[in-house]
Every structure is written in C-alpha cells, then in structure tokens.
Amino acid sequence: MQFLLLLPLIFAACAPLRPLGPVSETQPVPTPVATEPVQEPVPEPQARDLDPGQIINVGVGFEKDSAAIECPEQKWQFKARENLGRIEVETKGECKYGEKTYRGGWAVLSTDSGLAIINAVPIEDYLKGLVPHEIGKLKPEEIEALKAQAVAARTYAYRHIGSRKSQGFDIYADVRDQVYNGKEGEDSLANIAIMATAGLVLKYEGNTIEAYYHSTCGGKTESAEIWGQEGKPYLQPVSDSAEGRVFCELSRYMKWEEKYSRAELVEMFQKNAADARADKIFPFSKIQQISITERFPGGRVKKLAVSTDKGSFEVFGDRTRRLFTREGKFLPGLFFDISQSGDTFTITGSGYGHGIGMCQMGTRARAREGQTFEEILKVYYTGVSIEK
Ligand SMILES: [Zn+2]
C-alpha cells in the first residue's frame, strides 16, 4: 500500500522540504501512509495475561467465485457457494495465495456472498509481514523506530482479536486495520526489532490500549475525538516538536497545498457529501463560502461549514477529508487552512493521516537522534506502560 501511494501526482507541486535538523539526508525520506481504521472502536478489554503464542486470524482476501491456496503438500481449490461454512486447511509449510507466500495456517469461510481467505498466523510472525509495510525499510540508525512500530502494531493486534468476528476473522490485511503482506517484503532489520521487543505491548491502567498511529502529524497529534469517539486518556494531543523544530519535518507531507475551482467543488461536494456525512444533503449549483467554524484542541478542523445558493451544510472531524475526495484520494490531513481568491479555493495543510497516537515520521527522527523506543512511545501515548 505504501509504495502505491508514495508518489501521488497531486502532491507534485509541494514546496521542497528544507531539512533543518541534524540529519542531512540527500535521499528523499519515504513517508509511510497512515493506517485508517474506518469501523467503530473495539470495546475496552478486560485486564488479562496475553498469550505469547497467540494466533491472529488475518483476512487476507475475498473471492467471489473461486480461490486456490498452494501448500507444499497439496494445492487446495475452493469454489464459492459450495460447502458453506468454515474449512480449515492444515499445512506444515509456507503456502501461496495469489502472488504472495505466507507463514502459518489457513481457513476459508464460504458464505452466500463468496470466500473469505483467512491466514491464521502467530502474532510475532504476523508482525514480520507488517512492520516494513507500515513504516518502511529503515536503516540501522532507525532501529528504535522499528521497535516502536513493532510494539504499537503488536498492541493494535492483541486489542483487535475478535473485533471483526462478523467477518470470520480478527483483522483486515490492509489500511482498514494494518497492512500485512505475508512473507513478501520481510526485512531482516525489522525482524530483529520485532524479536528484540517480543511480547511487549502498551498498557494503560492494566488494559491493552487502542494503539492508533499515522504517517505525519505536522507538529501536533490529536485525540480520537476527530472520529466522534470519546477521548481516551492515553490518546491526547501532544506536541511533536522541540527547540522550535518539528520532528516529522522531513516528511514529504509536512507542507501541502490543494487548489480547487469553484465549479469543481460544486461537483465534488455533491458527489462526496454522503460519504462525508454532511448534516444536510441537497442539490445546489453555487458555492458562496467555505469556512472552518471550530477546531479540535490540537488544532485540526472540527467543523467545516459550506454556504451555497440553496442553503448551508456542515461536516464534522475526520469526515471532512472525504468531502474533498478527488480522483479517489482523501485530503491528506485535517491540519489545514482554507482561503479564497476569485474562483479559486486553496487549502494549505500540514501532516498526513488521522493524526492520532504515534507519528511515524516523528518516530524515525527521534530514533535517529538517539531516543529509545520506550521514550518515543511514551511521548505519543500519554501515561502508558510497556509490558510483556
Ligand atoms: Zn509528527
């Protein structure tokens, strides 16, 4: 996912970044994309001991007609709408599904709508197929960032076991939860970071936390209120800067700009209003004004009001990014200002992703400056402990 989204053309006009910190990178720093949970949060778990051999069921694919899983012992073929129910596939080796090879076992859930393909894998192996895709393949001087990412992703995984029960598995293998590609793209340094932190998760008052993370905060993180959720004590807005310098400043999304014509916005808003959960949906032909009427404590847009020739409507929080969906892409973030000149509206923003919890680009900079993964995680998740 990361590599598909790395070079969206719409950002080609971004001003070049001026590295101000001690890192003099001549190579552009690849910016990870954000993980965007789109469903409701999972209920607060009861304090309990975590099973170190815990298997997680990952929904790696869905097939409408047929599926094949190629294991060393046997090639398994499945046809949709036959043998309804859950079929377990036993294997001792690594199997291929689609173009990718995976560790662990398998299950196929056959329902009236098709086949859900489920990879049942120990959590520590799951992390090997995840960490390099979520934060990138990093250099040895950023190993503490890989460790921080491993702990955050492991915490997210334990917390979400059972959270997609209605789908027949625990977690999606894409940005709906965490990007997981089986053995494809595994990285030896990431594996070292995973083993060095084996079993460690983030807890608050004895409970595994909801460890959201994102690409680039742009200077300050935000609370989960941007999704209309109740605030959590460990997900608070925190500053990601020190001595006047923002840690994630090397991100290509530190500063961005989007321009729209008035006519284009009419068409976009009509198309996107439902997905953005606008408070009123009605046809209109002119936009008079777009204004930010309220901001969250961290500074992100809380309410955006649009006045048109046929009345006004409002959108709330993170859904605002969807109001501006263009060519299938949301607005990068919610940290923005909007200005108008003649028939052109300009949005200038900072950061990429929802802005909640750990900032991945800030994490990398902190690692390069010598912070440990424990120090880094405790910056982004307020008041947490790191426990086995
Ligand atoms: Zn940041």
Q: Could you tell me the pTM of the whole model?
A: 0.85
The two three-digit tokens of residue 345, written as one number: 């509206």
Residue 250: name the closest of 123, 145, 109, 357 by CA: 145
Residue corresponding to tokens 């994630």: 248
CA–CA dist 238, 217 (Å, integer): 10
Residue 230 Cα to ligand 1 midpoint, Å, equals 22
Residue 203 Cα to ligand 1 midpoint, Å, equals 22
Residue 218 Cα to ligand 1 midpoint, Å, equals 5
Residue 145 Cα to ligand 1 midpoint, Å, equals 13
Residue 247 Cα to ligand 1 midpoint, Å, equals 6
CA–CA dist 284, 17 (Å, integer): 39
The β-bridge partners of 114 are: 111
What is the distance in angstroms between the CA of the first residue and the CA of the last residue of the chain?
30
Residue 219 Cα to ligand 1 midpoint, Å, equals 5
Sheet holding 55-63, edge to edge: 85-89, 105-111, 114-122, 55-63, 171-172
Residue 31 Cα to ligand 1 midpoint, Å, equals 11
Span 67-89, pLDDT tens digits: 999 999 999 999 998 888 999 98
Give every residue of the chain whose pLDDT is below 50, as ranges: 1-28, 34, 37-40
Residue 178 Cα to ligand 1 midpoint, Å, equals 19
- Within its chain, how far is the Cα of 312 from the centroid? 32
Residue 173 Cα to ligand 1 midpoint, Å, equals 25
Residue 287 Cα to ligand 1 midpoint, Å, equals 34
Long-range contacts of 157-160 (CB under 8 A, 24+ apart): 157/56, 157/123, 157/126, 157/127, 158/50, 158/54, 158/123, 158/201, 158/208, 159/42, 159/45, 159/208, 159/209, 159/210, 159/211, 160/42
Residue 197 Cα to ligand 1 midpoint, Å, equals 23
Residue 121 Cα to ligand 1 midpoint, Å, equals 32
Residue 252 Cα to ligand 1 midpoint, Å, equals 12
Residue 196 Cα to ligand 1 midpoint, Å, equals 25
Residue 312 Cα to ligand 1 midpoint, Å, equals 34
Q: How far, CA to CA in Å, does 195 sit from each of 54, 178, 190?
A: 15, 19, 9
pLDDT at 4: 37
DSSP 223-244: -GGGGTPPPBTTB---B-EETT
Residue 335 Cα to ligand 1 midpoint, Å, equals 12
**CB–CB of 57/86 below 8 Å?**
no
Residue 44 Cα to ligand 1 midpoint, Å, equals 27
Span 253-278, pLDDT tens digits: 999 999 999 999 999 999 999 999 99
Residue 35 Cα to ligand 1 midpoint, Å, equals 15
Q: What H or E segment, with its residue span, contains residue 60?
A: strand 55-63
| Three-state secondary structure of 197-225 | CCCCEEEECCEECCCCEECECCCECECHH
**Single-letter code of the amino acid located at 196:** A
Residue 274 Cα to ligand 1 midpoint, Å, equals 31
- Within its chain, how far is the Cα of 26 from the centroid? 27
Residue 73 Cα to ligand 1 midpoint, Å, equals 47
Residue 90 Cα to ligand 1 midpoint, Å, equals 44
Residue 325 Cα to ligand 1 midpoint, Å, equals 23
Burial class (CB in 10 A: 0-12, 13-18, 19+), 52: exposed
Residue 248 Cα to ligand 1 midpoint, Å, equals 4
CA–CA dist 32, 242 (Å, integer): 22
pLDDT at 25: 34
Residue 334 Cα to ligand 1 midpoint, Å, equals 14
- Within its chain, how far is the Cα of 183 from the centroid? 20
